[in-house]
């Protein structure tokens, strides 16, 4: 999800008309690394948790075209099960609290 911070302005501010090159570089990195699990976090809205303002989903799904990366719907279908089976959480759960008596 390292591609999110450089894309924040484009995703949350309508006055930013194009994603910056750093956003495209991060997005293209996901595409080339075949990190399909990231697509699931985009599709199910988890990515919104990383942004300071509401995300424009239309803009998120426009990034591939604007950045010259081909990401078809098959990427979402291939990596995201109907019930989200096998999709790990976007952030790690908190560590367990120490047990009493240790």
Please report whether residue 92 resides in a domain.
no
Distance of CA 43 to the CA centre of its chain: 8
- Helix, strand, or coil (residue 83): coil
pLDDT less than 70: residues of the chain: 1-3, 29-39, 43, 70-102
pLDDT of residue 91: 62
pLDDT digits (tens, 9 = 90+) for 17-44: 999 999 888 777 665 555 566 667 776 7
State how many domains the chain has.
1
Please report whether residue 52 resides in a domain.
yes
Distance CA 96, CA 47 (A): 25
Full domain range(s) for residue 53: 4-79
DSSP symbols for 10-55? HHH-TT--S--HHHHHHHHHHHHHT-THHHHHHHTTGGGGG-SS--
Q: What pTM was estimated for this model as a whole? A: 0.65
Please report whether residue 98 resides in a domain.
no
Residue 92 zone, left/alpha/beta (φ > 0; ψ -120 to 50; rest): beta
pLDDT of residue 61: 81
Task: Spell out the residues 6+ positions from residue 24 whose beta carbon is closer than 8 angstroms to its own.
Answer: 63, 66, 67, 68, 69
Q: Tokens for 10?
A: 């484009």
pLDDT of residue 100: 53
């Amino acid at each position: 999800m390292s591609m999110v911070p450089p894309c924040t302005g484009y995703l949350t501010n309508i006055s930013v008309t194009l994603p910056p090159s750093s956003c495209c570089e991060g997005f293209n990195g996901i595409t080339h690394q075949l990190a399909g699990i990231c697509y699931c976090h985009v599709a199910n809205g988890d990515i919104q948790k990383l942004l300071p303002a509401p995300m424009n989903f239309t803009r998120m799904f426009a990034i591939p075209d604007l950045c010259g990366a081909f990401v078809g719907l098959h990427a979402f279908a291939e990596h995201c099960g109907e019930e989200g089976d096998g999709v790990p959480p976007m952030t790690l759960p908190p560590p367990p609290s120490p047990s009493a008596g240790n």
